[in-house]
Structure 1
Amino acid sequence: MNLILFGPPGAGKGTQAQFLVKQYAVPQISTGDMLRAAVKAETSLGLQAKAIMQRGGLVSDEIVLGMVEERLAQPDCSGGFVLDGFPRTIPQADMLHAVLSRMGRSIEHVLSLEVEPEELVHRLSGRRSCPACGRGYHVEYEPPQQAGMCDQCHVALVQRDDDREETVRNRLSVYEEQTHPLKAYYLAKGMLRQIPGIGSIAEIQQRISSVLAG
């Protein structure tokens, strides 16, 4: 089962990625994690990436694709994989197709978790956390016993800068700009599976399972 997983901030992509990993016994491949691991391990591609990042540059598609190809060649990917955060552009999607073709493989499904922007703003901007113990809350879905205070530490909860409404709306706008062309690209190839991301975690998992079983 070779999958790509899309999902905007707040759509529950991380939760569903872990479900896919457990349900189908395939690894989750995050290019961000892979890049950090390659730099830490000082692989050839990792050293190239490190030098670029130290200069403040962006790691090229070729280097990222090289890391993806190395990762997909590892034994734990023989039964499939879940690509998370990649590809981000149509050129990257074309390059990924070429890499997989060389390996005699192909993407089977592109899963896109779909949630209305206003619901995502509500989910993200309502998050709060304790600066002392790190416990997370939500002003509506998981409120503390005393408004604005941590149940355990009894200190004032804080809102991450990333979760402020203006920032959330900007993050969602950037995501839409990046992924809209890709969704159209995979829709044209008959691979895109749009999954409604509203409902319980179990309900969304059932929708995913039904799509993949079909």
Structure 2
Amino acid sequence: MRLIILGAPGAGKGTQAEVLSKKLDIPTISTGEIIRNAIRQGTDLGKEAKQYIDRGLLVPDDVVIEIVKDRLTQDDCKNGFILDGFPRTVPQADALTKMGVTIDKVLSIEVAEEKIVERISGRRQCSKCGATYHIVYKPSKEENICDLCGGELIMRQDDAPETVKNRLKVYHEQTEPLKDYYQSKGLLVVAYGQEEVADTTKEVLKALGVV
């Protein structure tokens, strides 16, 4: 299965992609990860992407598309793949089609916006060892103290409520139009995020028709 996963930041795309990757035995392709890999490997495209990242700029569509295209030619993608974080815009989706990449289904994971803000702004990270917690779903034994190393737990800047709301605004403006784009092609399926990860997985599998 060749699959795209859509969803607002904090909707649980990465978690569900991981589950589907194991169940379907196909790789999850995260654009952030493959760009970091290309930079680590020092490929020509990686060097080009690094120039933008080092200046705090977004990597342009044409560079991202070439990196994705290169990744999809690798052997582990022969039986399918899961694209997480790409395409982010309708022009990127058009470019994917022009590359000759056939997509079987596009899964949109829907979660209420106030729930997303609560989920993300409740995340905490250890300032020493990087271990992650959540004040509701995965609290530390002692408030603001890491269970593993005793370090102070902090909120990352991009998890602050105002930042989350800005990220959601960008998602609604740039990425959400992809739902209509893929709906018009008859590829869109929808799963509704639940309180428990396992329950969301059931919804995802049902939406995709995977038993």
- Normalised by the length of structure 2, the TM-score is 0.89
Identity of aligned residues (%): 49
The 2-side partners of 1:114 and 1:5 are apart by 11
Show the 5 A alignment for 1:46-195.
Answer: 46-53=46-53, 58-100=58-100, 105-195=101-191
Seen in structure 2, the aligned counterparts of structure 1 residues 138 and 47 have a Cα distance that, compared at 3 Å, is closer
Aligned to 1:212: 208
User: Following the alignment from structure 1 to structure 2, what is the Cα–Cα distance between the partners of residues 52 and 131?
Assistant: 28
- Where in structure 2 are there 5+ consecutive unaligned residues? none
Please say if residues 14 and 84 of structure 2, whose CA atoms lie closer than 8 Å, have aligned partners that are also in contact: no
For residues 21-56 of structure 1, what are the alpha-carbon distances to aligned partners after superposition, in whole Å with 9 as ceiling and x for unaligned?
101111111222222222332323333334455566
Range moving further from structure 2, 202-211 or 115-124: 202-211
Partner of 1:5: 5
Worse-matched range after superposition: 34-43 or 146-155:
146-155
Which whole-Å CA distance do the structure 2 matches of 1:91 and 1:212 have between them? 25
Tell me the number of residue pairs that the alignment of Structure 1 and Structure 2 aligns: 210
Distance 2:169 2:201 in 1: 26
Indicate the larger mover: 1-10 or 149-158.
149-158
Change (3 A) 1:92 1:147: same
2:133–2:140 Cα contact (<8 Å) kept: yes
Report Cα offsets for 1:151-198 as digits up to 9, x if no partner: 444454221111211111111111121112111111111111111012
Distance in 2, matches of 1:170 and 1:56, equals 17
Q: Does 1:203 find its partner at 2:205?
A: no
Task: Please state whether the residue corresponding to 1:173 is helix, strand or coil.
Answer: helix
Select the structure of larger CA radius of gyration.
1
Instruction: State the SS of the aligned residue for 1:137.
Output: strand
Could you tell me how far 1:57 is from its partner in structure 2?
5.4
Q: Secondary structure at 2:116's aligned position in 1?
A: helix
- AA aligned opposite 1:89: T
Q: For residues 51 and 146 of structure 1, do their structure 2 counterparts lie closer, same or farther at Cα, with a shift above 3 Å needed? A: closer
Write the distance in 2 (CA, Å) between the matches of 1:187 and 1:44: 36
**Structure 1, unaligned stretches of length 5 or more?**
none
Cα deviation for residue 73 of structure 1 reads: 1.2
Q: Secondary structure at the match of 1:134?
A: coil
**How far off its partner does 1:200 sit?**
1.6
SS of 2:99 mapped into structure 1: helix
In structure 1, what is the Cα distance between the partners aligned to 2:161 and 2:84?
25
Distance 1:154 1:62, change over 3 A: closer
Give the equivalent residue in structure 2 for 1:36.
36
SS in structure 2 of the partner of residue 133 of structure 1 = coil
* Alignment partners' CA distance in 1, 2:209 and 2:26: 16
CA distance in 1, matches of 2:105, 2:174: 19
Q: For 2:53 and 2:149, how far apart are their aligned partners in 1?
A: 39
Query: Normalising by the residue count of structure 1, what TM-score does the alignment of the two structures yield?
Result: 0.88
Specify the SS of the correspondent of 1:22: helix
After TM superposition, give the deviation of residue 121 of structure 1 in Å: 0.8
